[in-house]
Structure 1
Amino acid sequence: MSAAKCGVDSDVDVLVVGGGINGAGIARDIAGRGLSVALCERDDLASHTSSASTKLIHGGLRYLEHYEFGLVRKALAEREVLLRAAPHIMRPMRFVMPHAGQRSALLVRAGLFLYDRLARRELLPASQTVRLSCHPAGRALRPQYQQAFVYSDGWVDDARLVVLNAMDASEKGACILPRTSVLAARREGDLWQVTLRKADGTVKEAKVRCLVNAAGPWAASFLDAALQRPHTHQLRLVKGSHIVVPRLPGHDDAYLFQHEDGRIVFVIPYERDFSLIGTTDVDYRGDPGVVRISEDEIRYLCDAAGRYLVTPVQPSDVVWSFAGVRPLLEDGDAKASAVTRDYRLEVESAGAPLLTVFGGKLTTYRKLAEEAADLVGKALGQPGTAWTADACLPGGDLFGAVPQNRSVLEFDQWGSSLKVQYGWLDCPLIGRYAHAYGTRIHTLLQGRAAMADMGEQVLPGLYEAELDYLRRHEWATTAADILWRRTKLGLHLPAGAAQQLDAWLAVHPAAR
């Protein structure tokens, strides 16, 4: 279904509230089982928590210390499922953890031994111990760090992962409605009567058989305000903040640093020219929609990185920062960093069914969505069949519709073939398109055979053809949608680029 033409029907089987990774994943799974689905999100897709992660697909090495073996096993199993499904927006990554003495070397080795074996690995190499004086990663580190542990996880473009799930849902018949709020929802017999308000202020009533509350940080407040329903689980809102600095000298590897307070901080190569440093864990009690990094958090992250790196990191080096609120399942732990990242699905089936998602993490979103779809199907008497473990996300079908290791291992070769097919495009541009859109590059470039066919270059490296694709297929409407969520071009463009793009969008209506 075209992103531009979608409008909610008066009656649908399932309405999903929340356009983050859990909501988009649930809508995708349910739509693929043949039920009619609508998803509404009061802002843009991935506007909040789901675009503010550390950009990792990982098992969560540190969760082993809290004995969350089930969660780690589930996340480790999902790493390679996701890598195969979307190799264009994900990639394997090696992490270097210098030994700093907070944990014994024997304990770390034991943890990595377990990490390597809790789930089957086909794509990611096993962990190893290295001497930093003999390893390239040692060049960026202070000389007192002599030994390190190296292990594997994955990197992901988190906001694009949300959009790809929404695209797949849409292509399977779901109606995706960004910038649409739920004003109220009430049960009327075996249906929900839901009042929706669109961005233009128009209000619409819809009848749905099942309501899914995937509102993330707002899940509990949605139950309180829109539904006036009690709930048994509590959320603990924890702020995680990140900073981005110019690429640090010698920063070719991802690092995991153990801070003096026992927390860990990642330093990750980012967007070719930058290094990403995060994250913090701070209890949060404000509005999740206006969360910001604090000066104390910036100093904390700079200090944590500076303790290990030869090149110090100063607050004045920060070129961009972002923060998000993680809706964690309250487990009574005193430390925010120790609160479980697992999830709970609560189903209320007295009358029209209601499913609420509490907690969760990016890596396990597909499994969460599968379990949610099972529960919704059971509640509606239409269980359907789980299918997403063996399906590519849009653009991930490099060598066929079935996910395969080849797509991950041979991504660079596939990208090189694009440079031959579209030899008239600049190599950096085609490289960016390959990683952002995968095989959907052919949709973006359909009917174009020369740079003149790309339309106006609205900003450096951003052509009218890409803008048309993003507005037509990915629900992008503003400069922020385009420069910071669909792409990260905002990092590479001069001041004033967003205002310039918004002005262009205002006088060039989206194609229908």
Structure 2
Amino acid sequence: MGGQADPVDLLIVGGGVNGAGIARDAAGRGLSVVLCEKDDLGQGTSSRSGKLVHGGLRYLEYYEFRLVREALIEREVLLAAAPHIIWPMRFVLPHRASARPAWLVRLGLFLYDHLGGRKRLPGTRTLNLRRAPEGRALADPPRIGFEYSDCWVDDSRLVVLNAIDAAERGARILPRTACVAARREGGLWRAELAGEGGPVTVHARVLVNAAGPWVKDVIGRVAGQNSARNVRLVKGSHIVVPKFWDGPHAYLLQNQDRRVIFVNPYEDDLCLIGTTDIPYEGPAEAVAIDDREIDYLLDIVNRYFRQQLTRQSIVHAYSGVRPLYDDAAENPSAVTRDYVFDVDAPEGMAPMLSAFGGKITTFRKLSEHAMRALAPFFANLAPAWTATAHLPGGDIADADFDRFLAAFQAERPWLPADLARHLGRLYGTRAGRVLGDAVDMAGLGRHFGGLLYEREARYLMTAEWARTADDILDRRTKHGLHLSADQRGAFADWLATA
């Protein structure tokens, strides 16, 4: 690509969910696309979310009705597009009068049920938590509780599947490749990239800045431009502990500071608790959970549940930096989760689009709106298409994952049920590609522990840009949560020579 005669239409900087989503949308409209990401795909914010596709129930308090409506509509779209990595989850909200009056919660849930044209998910119901099984785990169950619907998502895989779809439609995906400089030359962008294969020069008609927490860095340091818009970095941290209640439902807890905390089933036998909302001013790469956040999360959970958690209960923790559009709100929890674009297009010069803010649920709509903003620069741009398209592996009839899984297992009776479910969940209708020509367990190659076999690792390396142990164990899969330190080390040693 260095010194190429023909420029590409889009150079996208940033391989998180927004960058991958824009690459997919653009490639599907026939544009030539290069996406570069300085680290692994989704390594930053997009793999450190709360793992939910949701409308944002609490945003109703801040009158974010348009954002909530858009997110609720997207919840249905994404559930149909990728039912292997996105699935319904019921959330139990114990009502505490000291937090919010019951009438306000009921009103919010009524709006939540009806704003977005809900089709697939069941609506809200009221529970007597002193009698209902959902109240058994609570230390002092209130009489009134509510149960409503949202969706779980494997956030890392959502990013990778968008990148795969983009690549299959002609985009070039370059993880571990940084954009170190970009300047306008003769109506084009000339960008200097540095990655595993050495320096690369890319000429592009449009530069798309989807760098998330680094969006201002790309505008200023890389492209030498200015923007009146700002991002506000907010740290969100989660802890993982063994699951301590029966049932597939999750909990939404109201705290005294009016924030809410999710307590969600995770990886079958674990539980994900979060998130915090703390202003953050350090390097995004250095983000980490601190003692204050751990105490905050443990305190909320211990006030609600019979089983008391301690620091020793924590088996994993992670933090992410959310690049929220700075709307000058004083409370970090009140900062808008909406997104805005800055299109810098001086007369006769190549444009740059920078994306500020957003949330994982609305990435597809953000991508669509980004293409709408860029339409004036591309004559005869094809129409929007992603609203009815499946993500790779998501072409499951009627979005019925259980029926798909039953057929997948029936065709492979030699495959253990837990391994079949793992493969079905991560790869959907492409799970057979992971297995290849294997006809028995021996055909899966070396077993590294848990449900991880050599065959899957090699597939991720060849088909999904995985290079390091963390890419495979923590992002493409969650095998790392189920391996010992020695097993992780043995896998890393194998990968170094694979």
The CA distance in 2 between the partners of 1:214 and 1:74, in whole Å, is 20
Contact 1:55–1:155, Cα closer than 8 Å, also in 2: yes
| 1:378 aligned to which of 376, 379, 392 | 376
The CA distance in 2 between the partners of 1:414 and 1:250, in whole Å, is 26
Aligned to 1:137: 134
Aligned to 1:426: 416
Seen in structure 2, the aligned counterparts of structure 1 residues 418 and 7 have a Cα distance that, compared at 3 Å, is farther
The CA distance in 2 between the partners of 1:461 and 1:112, in whole Å, is 39
Cα RMSD over matched residues? 1.4
Aligned to 1:359: 357
The CA distance in 2 between the partners of 1:210 and 1:226, in whole Å, is 15
The CA distance in 2 between the partners of 1:458 and 1:270, in whole Å, is 21
Contact 1:266–1:278, Cα closer than 8 Å, also in 2: yes
Over the matched positions of the two proteins, sequence identity in percent amounts to: 51
Aligned to 2:459: 469
Write the deviation string for residues 454-475 of structure 1: whole angstroms up to 9, x where unpaired: 1222344221211111011110
Contact 2:140–2:304, Cα closer than 8 Å, also in 1: no
Aligned to 2:491: 501
Write the deviation string for residues 225-281 of structure 1: whole angstroms up to 9, x where unpaired: 001111021100000000000111336320000111111000001001101000000
Amino acid at match of 1:363: T
Aligned to 1:3: none
Amino acid at match of 2:160: V
The CA distance in 2 between the partners of 1:248 and 1:13, in whole Å, is 51
| 2:186 aligned to which of 180, 186, 189 | 189
State the Cα distance separating 1:98 from its structure 2 match.
Answer: 0.4
1:330-479 aligned within 5 A = 330-350=326-346, 351-399=349-397, 406-407=398-399, 410-479=400-469
* More divergent stretch after superposition (448-457 vs 476-485): 448-457
State the Cα distance separating 1:190 from its structure 2 match.
Answer: 1.1
Aligned to 1:174: 171
Contact 2:14–2:35, Cα closer than 8 Å, also in 1: yes
State the Cα distance separating 1:143 from its structure 2 match.
Answer: 2.5
The CA distance in 2 between the partners of 1:87 and 1:457, in whole Å, is 28
Amino acid at match of 2:83: P
State the Cα distance separating 1:144 from its structure 2 match.
Answer: 4.2
The CA distance in 2 between the partners of 1:119 and 1:215, in whole Å, is 29
TM (norm. structure 2) is 0.97
Aligned to 2:78: 82
State the Cα distance separating 1:134 from its structure 2 match.
Answer: 2.4
Amino acid at match of 1:336: P
Contact 1:480–1:498, Cα closer than 8 Å, also in 2: no
State the Cα distance separating 1:224 from its structure 2 match.
Answer: 1.1
Aligned to 2:147: 150
* More divergent stretch after superposition (242-251 vs 373-382): 373-382
Seen in structure 2, the aligned counterparts of structure 1 residues 8 and 292 have a Cα distance that, compared at 3 Å, is farther
Seen in structure 2, the aligned counterparts of structure 1 residues 9 and 246 have a Cα distance that, compared at 3 Å, is farther
Aligned residue pairs, count: 494
Does the alignment pair 1:18 with 2:8? Answer: no
**Structure 2 counterpart SS, 1:292:** coil
Contact 1:140–1:311, Cα closer than 8 Å, also in 2: yes
Contact 1:137–1:252, Cα closer than 8 Å, also in 2: no
**Structure 1 counterpart SS, 2:136:** helix
Seen in structure 2, the aligned counterparts of structure 1 residues 449 and 329 have a Cα distance that, compared at 3 Å, is same
1:92-103 aligned within 5 A = 92-101=88-97, 102-103=99-100
Write the deviation string for residues 386-418 of structure 1: whole angstroms up to 9, x where unpaired: 00001000000012xxxxxx21xx211211111
Aligned to 2:218: 222
* More divergent stretch after superposition (54-63 vs 366-375): 366-375
**Structure 1 counterpart SS, 2:459:** helix
Amino acid at match of 2:147: V
For structure 1, the residue ranges without an aligned partner over 5 or more in a row are 1-5, 400-405
State the Cα distance separating 1:142 from its structure 2 match.
Answer: 1.8
Aligned to 1:283: 279
Amino acid at match of 1:67: Y
Contact 1:57–1:156, Cα closer than 8 Å, also in 2: yes
Seen in structure 2, the aligned counterparts of structure 1 residues 51 and 7 have a Cα distance that, compared at 3 Å, is farther
Seen in structure 2, the aligned counterparts of structure 1 residues 162 and 443 have a Cα distance that, compared at 3 Å, is same
Contact 2:52–2:150, Cα closer than 8 Å, also in 1: yes
Does the alignment pair 1:325 with 2:321? Answer: yes
The CA distance in 2 between the partners of 1:330 and 1:323, in whole Å, is 20
The CA distance in 2 between the partners of 1:7 and 1:370, in whole Å, is 30
**Structure 1 counterpart SS, 2:241:** strand
The CA distance in 2 between the partners of 1:37 and 1:498, in whole Å, is 36
The CA distance in 2 between the partners of 1:244 and 1:222, in whole Å, is 33
The CA distance in 2 between the partners of 1:144 and 1:497, in whole Å, is 41
**Structure 2 counterpart SS, 1:183:** strand
Moved segments of 4+, more than 4 Å: 6-10
The CA distance in 1 between the partners of 2:490 and 2:450, in whole Å, is 12
State the Cα distance separating 1:7 from its structure 2 match.
Answer: 9.9
Contact 2:130–2:141, Cα closer than 8 Å, also in 1: no
* More divergent stretch after superposition (367-376 vs 471-480): 367-376
**Structure 1 counterpart SS, 2:203:** strand
Amino acid at match of 2:311: P
Contact 1:209–1:352, Cα closer than 8 Å, also in 2: yes
TM (norm. structure 1) is 0.94
| 1:316 aligned to which of 304, 312, 323 | 312
